[in-house]
Amino acid sequence: MPAPLDPPPLQLPAPVPGAAPPVAEPPFVSRRKGRLTLEFVPGEVQSQMDLADPYRLVLAYARAMMCFVLFKPAPAHIVMVGLGGGSLAKFCHRYLPEARITVLELSADVIALRERFAVPPDSERFRVIHADAASHMRRLAGSADVLLVDGFDASGLPPTLGTASFYADCRRALRPDGLLVANIFSYDPNYGAMDRRLHHAFDGNVCQFRGIAGNNRILFALRPARTGGGGPTRAQRLVQRVGLCGALWPGLAPFNWLLAHWVVGRLRQRGVT
C-alpha cells in the first residue's frame, strides 16, 4: 500500500474559552480604469470584469483554464469549484451553449455579488450551489465531463481542495475521459504535494502547458476511458503530448500564452445564442 499523500494535520493553538470563532473577511468590489474587481485582500485580485465587454476573460489564468476545450471540445456538463466574479462561469454559459454548468461556491457573500458581475440567473442549464465542494464533490459521481477547480479565498487555495481524498472524489465525479483542470499558485508551499497527489489520483495522466499563466500553474488531469481496441481518445493523446514537451508541439512552450488567447478568441468568434 502506498504511503499516505496527505501531511499530518497542523497542530493549532487551543481556542480561548469563551472567544468567538474567527470570521472570514467578506469580499469587496472596486471599480477602476473601466474594470470591476473582486478582492478579499486589498491589492490581491481574485476576478476582474471589463465593464465595456463583460464576457471578456481579462486574467491570463482564466484564459489558460479555458484550454480545456482542446481536450474536451463539446462537454455536456461542466462543474466549477469557486464562483468568484463569475468570469469562467458566464464565459462558458455564453460560448459553450450546449453545456450544462454547475458552480459550487462556499461563500454566501460571493454569491450575493453575482448580479454585479453579470453572472446569469439560475436556469435549466446554469446553477450556482451554495456548498462546500470538499464535501459536495462526492455527490457528483460520474456526472461531469469537465471539472474546473478554482476555489480561492483570502488565504489562497483552501487545504481541503488539495487533499488526496478530494482529488479522488474529483476523479469519481468525472465521467470516463473526463478532465479536471486545477489552478494552483506555484509559490503555494503545498504545491509540490498537491501535484504529487493529483498524479497519484489520476494514475499519472496529468499535464500542464509551461509558462501559460505566470505564477498560476494550470494542471490538466484526465480520467482515461476504456477504449478497447479503438486506440487512445483525443484527450488521451493530447495529455500525453503536452506532458512530454509542455506544449502542443515541441519547442512551442514559449508561445503557450498565445495559444490561450487563440482558444478564447476562437470560441468568441463562433457567436452567441
Which CATH number fits the domain that encloses residue 105?
A: 3.40.50.150
Q: What pLDDT is stored for residue 229 in this prediction? A: 67
Range of the domain at 214: 58-269
pLDDT at 106 over 70: yes
pLDDT at 268 over 90: yes
- Phi-psi region for residue 194, left (φ > 0), alpha (ψ -120 to 50) or beta? alpha
Considering its fold, how many domains does the chain have in total?
A: 1
Which of helix, strand or coil describes residue 189? coil
Q: Out of 145, 150, 153, 177, pick the active-site residue.
A: 150
Residue 158 maps to a domain: yes
Q: What percent of the chain has pLDDT over 70?
A: 89
Residue 150 annotated in active site: yes
Angle at 160 between CA 141 and CA 146, to 5 degrees: 40
Residue 240 maps to a domain: yes
Residue 236 maps to a domain: yes
Residue 52 maps to a domain: no
Residue 14 maps to a domain: no
Residue 118 maps to a domain: yes
How would residue 44 be classed by pLDDT, with cut points 50, 70 and 90?
Answer: confident
For cell 483542470, what's the residue? 181
pLDDT at 5 over 90: no
Q: What gap in Å lies between CA 249 and CA 241, rounded to an integer?
A: 7
Whole-prediction pTM value? 0.88
Residue 175 maps to a domain: yes
Q: What pLDDT is stored for residue 1 in this prediction? A: 35
Residue 253 maps to a domain: yes
Query: What is the grid cell recorded at 234?
Result: 483525443
